């Protein structure tokens, strides 16, 4: 049975789908959003457990101009919480200790920066520009700088965003700005001197009640939302598109003039009936990094490490059983119970998929290492974990070409927009900018 026709049907109620639905509705269209689960937000979810406020997905957002404007339109700008001096102070694990990335005496004394790294920065300006269309992050950094900079500085950065492998990730599909800096200015150092001083300053932020504030505010603007509705097929009609779905055991169809899919790649490839089989296979094969979020709280007096920063990331060469830890309550003190510090550890990524099969072992190892690195002398007052099996899509080599093929599908089917974080970029700011 066909139900009422809509101008736009948005598939998926994560941040991408919510922003797409908001944006189309703002243009005066009749919009319907379909979401498989019983809640909006996708991987963004704030929960309260035993007096601790936990983010069971992203912890904070790096703002951009589009997000800033959206928050103002939604009236939630006054609810923003940030802690600039803490959030902008970053650490990396070095020789089993968090090392502050600040050019002071402790930093220079640590041996983190080798003479070859300094020389690579000083001479980067004089290296030849590449004509390669696609290259891995690792190859690009080795070519323009050197292997130590890749291993010590870039590898943890890649971990922090993609939980991925810089040898496999495509520079052009991930760090587009670095690619453009070389193409436009011939050098990274040169581009930094010429960068726009008036550009939007990106800051890590959340809201008074956590990231759910953004989801709730977007959801409240939408006129037609159907939860518990699993989209099972998308077909192209002579005019518009037919969406089949299953809701509480019943199957039915909607018709829409335009469709915006924000479904994860493997689900999208499975339900979109008019994709070429080879392309569907390629999309289904996009790798996703799994991630475990491990929340640990300790009495304030039991933590030996000074908590004057955002937290730290671990380079792969440090060979640790976790990827890094955010000092959550140092940034947002209201998330922890009084008298305790709350931390969020990231465990997993493309190099540690064992978290899916042996989570208990992974937790024990990560906790032990973290307590040593943070000089912690007491048992936890609270512990919880949450696993996201397909957390972060990996934009590996070949991604740029694959996205060109997906662009071509959009062109052949006017009114069909293929979005979601695997199209726009994984950061929440990218999901917002790509769907407004």
Ligand X SMILES: Cc1cc2nc3c(=O)[nH]c(=O)nc-3n(C[C@H](O)[C@H](O)[C@H](O)COP(=O)(O)OP(=O)(O)OC[C@H]3O[C@@H](n4cnc5c(N)ncnc54)[C@H](O)[C@@H]3O)c2cc1C
Interatomic CA distance for residues 205 and 61, integer angstroms? 5
Distance CA 369, CA 351 (A): 17
Q: Is 264 in the site for ligand X (CB under 6 A)?
A: yes
Q: Does the protein bind ligand X through residue 267 (CB under 6 A)?
A: yes
Can you tell me which of 7, 29, 30, 58 binds ligand X, judged by CB under 6 A? Answer: 58
179-184 long-range Cβ contacts below 8 angstroms, 24+ apart? 179/140, 182/129, 182/130, 182/140, 182/144, 183/129
170 vs 435 by CB, closer to ligand X: 435
What tokens appear for 110 in the block? 């640590």
Kindly give, in sequence order, each residue whose CB lies less than 8 Å from that of residue 8, ignoring residues fewer than 6 positions away. 21, 24, 29, 30, 31, 32, 256, 257, 258, 259, 260
Q: Of the candidates 60, 151, 213, 340, which one interacts with ligand X according to CB under 6 A? A: 60
The nearer residue to ligand X, 42 or 311, going by C-beta atoms, is 42
Chain position carrying tokens 């992050």: 137
- The torsion angle over the Cα atoms of residues 197, 202, 208 and 214, rounded to 10 degrees, is 120
- Of 92, 86, 93, 37, the C-alpha closest to 60 is 86
User: What is the footprint of ligand X within residues 371-400 (CB under 6 A)?
Assistant: 388, 391-392
Check residue 243 for interaction with ligand X (CB under 6 A).
no
Among 42, 98, 219, 240, binds ligand X (CB under 6 A): 42
Structure tokens at 113: 């920066």
3 state DSSP class of 343: strand
Site membership for ligand X, residue 34 (CB under 6 A): yes
Distance in angstroms (rounded) separating the CA atoms of residues 47 and 349: 23
Query: Of 39-47, 71-79, 297-305, 366-374, which segment contacts ligand X by CB under 6 A?
Result: 39-47
Among 7, 30, 37, 76, binds ligand X (CB under 6 A): 37
Q: Considering beta carbons, is residue 293 or 376 the nearer one to ligand X?
A: 293
Q: Is 291 helix (H, G, I), strand (E, B) or coil?
A: strand
Q: How many CA atoms lie within 13 A of 84 on its CB side?
A: 4
Q: Which of 36, 243, 303, 355 binds ligand X (CB under 6 A)?
A: 36
Residue 45 binds ligand X (CB under 6 A):
no
Interaction with ligand X in 316-375: which residues (CB under 6 A)? none
In this chain, which stretch among 58-66, 67-75, 249-257, 408-416 interacts with ligand X, using CB under 6 A? 58-66
CA distance 104 to 119: 19
**Using N-to-C axis directions, what is the helix angle for 15-26 and 212-221, rounded to 10°?**
30
98 binds ligand X (CB under 6 A): no
Q: Which of 76, 230, 279, 436 binds ligand X (CB under 6 A)?
A: 230
263 binds ligand X (CB under 6 A): yes
- Using the rule CB under 6 A, which residue among 231, 260, 294, 397 binds ligand X? 231
Structure tokens at 166: 């810089």
Distance, in Å, from the CA atom of 14 to the CA atom of 205, rounded to the nearest integer, reads: 19
Q: Which is nearer to ligand X, 140 or 346 (CB)?
A: 346
- Decide: is 283 part of the binding site for ligand X (CB under 6 A): no
Say whether residue 427 binds ligand X (CB under 6 A). Answer: yes
Give the binding range for ligand X (CB under 6 A) out of 55-63, 97-105, 253-261, 364-372: 55-63
Of positions 6, 8, 10, 11, contacts ligand X by CB under 6 A: 11
Contact 369, 320 (CB under 8 A): yes
Instruction: Indicate which single residue of 291, 315, 345, 366 sits in contact with ligand X (rule: CB under 6 A).
Output: 291
The span from the CA of 431 to the CA of 436, in Å, is 9
Nearest position to ligand X, beta carbon: 42
In the complex with ligand X, the residue whose CB is nearer, 89 or 130, is: 89
Stretch of 54-62, 74-82, 87-95, 176-184 lying at the interface with ligand X (CB under 6 A): 54-62
Q: Judged by CB under 6 A, which of 8, 13, 162, 212 binds ligand X? A: 13
Interface region with ligand X, contact rule CB under 6 A, candidates 22-30, 41-49, 101-109, 310-318: 41-49
Cα distance between residue 152 and residue 303, in whole Å: 26
Beta-strand relationship, 416-418 and 97-100: unpaired
Applying CB under 6 A, the span of 12-20, 96-104, 304-312, 377-385 interacting with ligand X comes to: 12-20
3-state DSSP helix/strand/coil % of the chain, to nearest 5:
40, 25, 35
CB of 251 to ligand X, least distance (A): 13
Q: Is 428 in the site for ligand X (CB under 6 A)?
A: yes
In terms of CB distance, is 14 or 164 closer to ligand X? 14
Q: Which residues bind ligand X (CB under 6 A)?
A: 11-17, 34-37, 42-44, 57-61, 230-231, 262-264, 267, 291, 293, 388, 391-392, 420-421, 426-428, 431
């Amino acid at each position: 049975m066909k139900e009422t026709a809509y101008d736009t049907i948005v598939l998926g109620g994560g941040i991408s789908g919510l922003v797409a639905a908001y944006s189309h509705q703002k243009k005066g269209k009749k919009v319907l959003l379909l979401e498989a689960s019983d809640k909006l937000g996708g991987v963004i979810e704030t929960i309260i457990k035993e007096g601790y406020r936990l983010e069971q997905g992203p912890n904070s957002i790096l703002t951009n101009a589009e997000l800033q404007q959206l928050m103002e339109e939604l009236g939630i700008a006054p609810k923003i919480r940030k802690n600039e001096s803490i959030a902008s102070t970053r650490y990396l694990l070095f020789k089993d200790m968090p090392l502050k990335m600040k050019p002071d005496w402790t930093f220079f004394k640590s041996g983190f920066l080798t003479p070859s790294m300094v020389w690579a920065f000083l001479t980067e300006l004089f290296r030849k520009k590449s004509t390669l269309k696609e290259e891995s992050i690792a190859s690009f950094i080795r070519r323009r700088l050197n292997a130590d900079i890749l291993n010590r500085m870039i590898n943890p950065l890649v971990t922090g965003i993609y939980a991925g492998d810089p040898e496999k990730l495509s520079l052009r599909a991930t760090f587009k700005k670095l690619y453009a800096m070389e193409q436009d200015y011939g050098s990274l150092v040169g581009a930094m001197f010429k960068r726009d001083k008036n550009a939007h300053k990106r800051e890590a932020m959340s809201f008074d009640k956590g990231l759910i504030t953004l989801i709730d505010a977007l959801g409240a603007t939408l006129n037609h939302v159907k939860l518990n509705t699993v989209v099972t097929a998308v077909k192209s009609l002579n005019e518009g598109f037919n969406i089949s779905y299953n809701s509480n055991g019943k199957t039915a169809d909607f018709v829409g003039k335009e469709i915006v899919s924000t479904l994860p790649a493997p689900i999208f490839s499975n339900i979109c009936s008019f994709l070429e089989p080879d392309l569907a296979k390629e999309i289904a094969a996009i790798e996703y990094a799994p991630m475990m979020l491990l929340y640990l709280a300790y009495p304030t007096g039991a933590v030996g490490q000074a908590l004057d920063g955002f937290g730290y990331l671990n380079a792969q060469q440090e060979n640790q059983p976790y990827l890094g830890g955010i000092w959550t309550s140092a940034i947002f003190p209201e998330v922890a119970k009084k008298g305790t510090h709350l931390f969020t550890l990231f465990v997993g990524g493309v190099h540690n998929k064992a978290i899916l099969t042996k989570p208990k072992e992974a937790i024990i190892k990560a906790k032990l290492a973290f307590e040593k690195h943070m000089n912690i002398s007491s048992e936890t007052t609270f512990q919880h974990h949450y696993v996201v099996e397909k957390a972060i899509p990996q934009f590996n080599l070949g991604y740029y070409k694959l996205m060109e093929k997906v662009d071509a599908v959009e062109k052949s089917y006017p009114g069909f927009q293929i979005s979601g974080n695997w199209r726009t970029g994984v950061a929440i700011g990218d999901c917002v900018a790509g769907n407004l």
